[in-house]
Amino acid sequence: MPRPHDFARHLHAVAVLLSAVALTAGAQAAQSPVYSAGKLTPAQQVARDVYKELIEINTSVSTGNITDGAIAMAKRLRAAGIPDADIFIGGPQPNRHNVVARIRGKNPAGRKPLLLLAHLDVVEALKEDWSPGLDPFKFTEKDGYYYARGSSDDKAMASIFVANALRMKAEGFVPDRDIIIALTSDEESGAFNGVGWLVENHRDLVDAGIVVNEGGGGVLRDGKPLFNTIQLAQKITTNFTLHVTNRGGHSSVPRADNAITSLADALSKVGRLTFPVQLSEVTREFFTNTAPLETPEMGRAMKALVTNPADNAAAAVVAADEKYSSMLRTTCVATMLNGGHASNALPQLAEANVNCRIYPTETAEQVRAALEKTIGDTTVHVLIKSQRPSTPPASLSPEIMGPVEQVTRELFGSIPIIPTMSTGANDSRFFLALGVPAYGVSGLFMDPSVDARAHGRDERMRIQSYYEGQEFLYRLTKLLSTNPATVP
């Protein structure tokens, strides 16, 4: 891994190169649309069928069965001609299995495999929380969208990887390097049943030279592609417990000290806490390259913030847009509550979970200290409940950037490709920790102002974007698995 200043210089050089390519291409239009409403190609129909099947298998982290999804996808891959010897289904828990399949290449002794990574598990969803007529575990097509839990996170990419494997096998395509498809469990819960378990117990199955995962995608504005992104870095997920105990007593004799009241006061303070702006090499490049595409006011604020992260006025403008706000700083938010033991008793215990997404330049202990200082109450104990280790950013290379730029230009025209940091976290972290380059890139475009619904109500995927993403990942996979990779 290069030193920080070397990485920044390399990142900037790549960004300048891509900008130059875009300028010389001029107003080059994308090729003919790959999707026509109501007229799916055979390959697209297969993808839709796989997508629908996978969505309607409840793979929720608590109430679902992830193994059912793994078995269903393995069945399709087996039917396409991938032999049993090259398909693995397994995991430490019976209902949380992973499936890993391998398409053999011509030269297994050459470059290490390409790994296509997606997770099968989804967060919980209740039908009564969704809009009338929508069931989170029924594949619903409506108003140009596919609605369902997991439609964007992450069953779109999982189904596309399977459908594209079926397509390549049907075409008789034999890559130069092996292609591994890993559909895994517990990305959402963070439990050690998915990629972490595979890396520790079956490293040979996922031992790759490059990884393509979720985390990157395209941005639409007014229905048109604005820019594409490639995820290089991610925030660090850490959960803190705010813990308050009290001797309790009868509710008819209240006292000034009350566990629930103390916790409520603490949570109110945490809710108002704003961490200072921080910029990394990746986010500096992101805001530098996004500024020219934004409104004049937002563009000026981004440029000012890159020059001076302490510019509070510029930070306020950028933070007013939710899609940019969490890229500026560490964030902490209360997500769960528990307190009291009887309706007629003073509470003896009150607890809350505070989920923090920590900037890669900061530590969990620093954030814990900041929470303690903000709360300012020694009866409220701030405990680190769980934390994930930080990982270095992926280093850009022509191997990934050449094909991504080529396919983006072919499908979406001369739009920029901008490196980004994910404000969430994904399983790329396991490979980055091993020094394996892992990139979030999908070719799935969305309008963040209306389509950012992952983990929430009425999660959806734009139908046109799904099939464009399918074609994007099909072409990208073929380029990355051809020896040498094609670089424009």
Q: Are 183 and 161 in contact (CB under 8 A)?
A: yes
Distance set, CA 226 to CA 54, 219, 256, 285, 413 (Å): 30, 6, 56, 17, 10
Q: How far apart are the C-alpha atoms of 416 and 98, rounded to whole Å?
A: 35
The pLDDT of residue 23: 39
Q: How many CA atoms lie within 13 A of 160 on its CB side?
A: 32
Amino acid at 139: F
Q: How far apart are the C-alpha atoms of 189 and 195, rounded to whole Å?
A: 12
Going 367 to 372 to 376 to 380, the CA torsion angle's sign is: positive
Q: How far apart are the C-alpha atoms of 147 and 201, rounded to whole Å?
A: 36
Q: Which residues have CB under 8 Å from 316's CB, separation 6+?
A: none
Strand partners, 422: 234
Secondary structure of 44-97 as H, E, C letters:
HHHHHHHHHHHHCCCCECCCCCHHHHHHHHHHHHHHCCCCHHHEEEECCCCCCC
Q: Are 227 and 290 in contact (CB under 8 A)?
A: yes
For every one of its 488 residues, what pLDDT tens digit does the chain have, with 9 covering 90 and above?
A: 333 334 444 444 444 444 444 433 333 444 558 998 889 999 999 999 999 999 999 999 999 999 999 999 999 999 999 999 999 999 999 999 999 999 999 986 678 999 999 999 999 999 999 999 999 999 999 999 999 999 999 999 999 999 999 999 999 999 999 999 999 999 998 888 999 999 999 999 999 999 999 999 999 999 999 999 999 999 999 999 999 999 999 999 999 999 999 999 999 999 999 999 999 999 999 999 999 999 999 999 999 999 999 999 999 999 999 889 999 999 999 999 999 999 999 999 999 999 999 998 899 999 999 999 999 999 999 999 998 888 889 988 999 999 999 999 999 999 999 999 999 889 999 999 999 999 999 999 999 989 999 999 999 999 999 999 999 999 999 999 997 644 33
Structure tokens at 345: 């008793």
Q: Which residues have CB under 8 Å from 87's CB, separation 6+?
A: 74, 77, 78, 99, 100, 101, 102
Of the candidates 90, 112, 108, the residue with the CA atom closest to the CA atom of residue 435? 112
Rounded to an integer, what is the distance from CA 90 to the centroid of its chain? 23
Place of tokens 């280790």: 389
Q: Which residues have CB under 8 Å from 59's CB, separation 6+?
A: 65, 66, 68, 69, 120, 121, 122, 150, 185
Strand partners, 337: 352
Asked whether the bond before 427 is cis by omega within 30 degrees of 0, the reply is: no
Q: How far apart are the C-alpha atoms of 301 and 414, rounded to whole Å?
A: 25
The pLDDT of residue 32: 56
